[in-house]
Chain A
Amino acid sequence: MSTTNDRFSGPGPDQIYSDFLTKGVFSLPQCKDCHEFHFFPRVVCPHCGSFNLEWKELSGKGEVYSTTTVRRKPERGGNYNVCHVTLEEGPRLMSRVEGVDPLDVKIGDPVSAVINNDEDSPFIVFVPAQGA
């Protein structure tokens, strides 16, 4: 039995996700069988077990599902937000909301994804949604 095929050759889902972000695209695998998206990206759909996946660009729209302010002394950089955001397409991820006081981030707030390039590899943060 062969242990490799096209499905399992080339970069894995972590690398593909990161490569998309580097190109400025926020994308996740969607299942071709049950049509659910998932996060974190995998080679198998955690909703139905299908290996039949394709990468789709996301709207970047989401809603704060839960939020906490991690308390830190001002001299160490001050308080910061850690939250869970539920994306319009379904999956939930950890992130932070920027551009507002961490204590003002509320569950249910509409937010928009932004790619943060401040560190070695890009990652998703959120800002309050325009017009909200």
Chain B
Amino acid sequence: MSHELRGSSAVVGVGLAGCGEAHGRAPLDILAEATHNALEDAGLKLSDVDGIFTGSSYHFMPALSTAEYLGIKPRFSDSSMVGGSSFVAHTLNAAMAIKTGQCDVALICYGSNQRTAGGKLATMSEQQIYEAPYKPRYPISSYALAAARHMHQYGTTREQMADVAVAARQWAQLNPAAFARDDLTRQDVLNSRMISDPLSLLDCCLVTDGGGAVIMVSSERAKDFPNKPVYVLGTGTAHWHRQITQMPDLTTTAAVDAGKRAFAMAGLTKDDVDVVELYDAFTINTILFLEDLGFCAKGEGGAFVENGNIAPGGSLPVNTNGGGLSCVHPGMYGIFILIEAIQQLRGGCGERQVDNPEVALVNGNGGVLSSQVTTILGTEAVL
């Protein structure tokens, strides 16, 4: 018997706004514009929204500030904060809220002006007293330690990590909305300024502005909307640590558990997946998540991403918008992978469109490889 949440709700609207640079805009201005676009896409009005799901590095009580700004009085709200994975996690909470009648129209939304506000990572994070004396650069040094260990343990190379950045750039070149679209070679990545060994500047995601919004309703209602519904088939969450020193094994993330849970709810396996959207804050992320989600064995992620295998024309389309590395990354990137997966399943992604995908996998990352949230989305064909 299938899980009661499997396919019980669907996405009927998505919107993006301010991706790249949104001069003069505050985070909630960008969020509101993305929400406007998602509502227009769904043919709904703000007054139809009765459930709000959001996260922020700018607002201490994100759902309250967001609902106040938008002028809505939600019946259900959720500001669950699991870093950049929050918006992917919100799909599970929204599905549960819709299924149990806590809300009918769920708005998952985000906005950030990280680039034009100065380029620093906005954070309300507490001081880490057992890390501060050593001055790790946050968050890159945490990811660098994971990359160094993966290289030591499995022979992963900087060249293989560079190929992740090159693949992302090749997808970005097919996406007119991507921020970084110049030609990029493996050698360019290797030659870029070293920041925290073994990660150099071009192993790191962009710093941009941007906002996104996703509208979910029950599957019964979803057929009455202008767009082809995209069904939420399964979501799994997992976290094993907060700070990097507490990560049990620097080469294995909690995506192992999140992925299993999501596949179990969806009743699918990795062989059913047509397109993959992973949170690539750094090049090592893509390698770790491909392994942990079962697309290749542990330790073989480096070889898997080599020579264009995840680039346009490769065996597995990964990060088809260009990723956090080349498309957009305003601090918490999770909503953008969700939106790219939905757009791919609807079709109409232009040059970067994957050939008739029916199942998409999204894996959000939060903190320092800490929170992992996997969502599996599908078209009506797999419902």
Give residues in A with beta carbon < 8 Å to B: 14, 39-40, 65-71, 80, 82-84, 92-96, 103, 107-108, 116, 119, 123
> Cβ of A67 and Cβ of B148 under 8 Å apart?
yes
> Cβ of B152 and Cβ of A68 under 8 Å apart?
no
Interface residues on B, range: 20 to 34
Indicate which residue in A14, A66, A67, A103 contacts B129 across the interface (CB closer than 8 Å).
Answer: A14
Q: Which of B88-116 contact A (CB under 8 A)?
A: none
Q: Given the complex, which residues of A lie within 8 Å of B145, measured CB to CB?
A: 66-68, 82-84
> Cβ of B149 and Cβ of A66 under 8 Å apart?
yes
**Nearest Cβ in chain B — how far from A44, in angstroms?**
14
> CA A40 – CA B250 in complex, angstroms?
17
> Cβ of B152 and Cβ of A66 under 8 Å apart?
yes
Given contacts A14-B129, A84-B245, contact A70 B137 (CB under 8 A): yes
Q: Given the complex, which residues of B lie within 8 Å of A96, measured CB to CB?
A: 134
> Cβ of A70 and Cβ of B133 under 8 Å apart?
no
Q: Given the complex, which residues of B lie within 8 Å of A65, measured CB to CB?
A: 149, 250
Residue of A nearest to B149 (CB): A66
Q: Is the interface of A mostly helix, strand, loop or mixed?
A: strand
Q: Given the complex, which residues of A lie within 8 Å of B195, measured CB to CB?
A: 70-71
Given contacts A65-B149, A70-B135, A82-B134, contact A92 B196 (CB under 8 A): no
Given contacts A66-B250, A71-B195, contact A123 B135 (CB under 8 A): no
Give residues in B with beta carbon < 8 Å to A: 129-131, 133-137, 141, 144-146, 148-149, 152, 193-199, 244-245, 250
> CA A107 – CA B197 in complex, angstroms?
13
Residue of B nearest to A96 (CB): B134
Residue of B nearest to A68 (CB): B144
> CA A47 – CA B381 in complex, angstroms?
45
Given contacts A67-B148, A70-B141, contact A93 B193 (CB under 8 A): no
Residue of A nearest to B197 (CB): A69
**Nearest Cβ in chain B — how far from A125, in angstroms?**
8
Q: Given the complex, which residues of B lie within 8 Å of A71, measured CB to CB?
A: 193-197
> CA A82 – CA B134 in complex, angstroms?
6
- Among B133, B137, B141: residue with most chain A CB under 10 A: B133
Given contacts A66-B146, A70-B196, contact A82 B135 (CB under 8 A): yes
Given A65-B250, A68-B197, A71-B197, 9 additional A-B pairs, CB 8 A: A40-B130, A66-B149, A66-B152, A68-B141, A68-B199, A69-B197, A82-B196, A94-B136, A95-B134
> CA A116 – CA B132 in complex, angstroms?
14
> Cβ of A66 and Cβ of B148 under 8 Å apart?
yes
Residue of B nearest to A67 (CB): B148
**Nearest Cβ in chain A — how far from B156, in angstroms?**
13
Residue of B nearest to A103 (CB): B197
Indicate which residue in A39, A70, A107, A116 contacts B149 across the interface (CB closer than 8 Å).
Answer: A107
Residue of A nearest to B245 (CB): A94
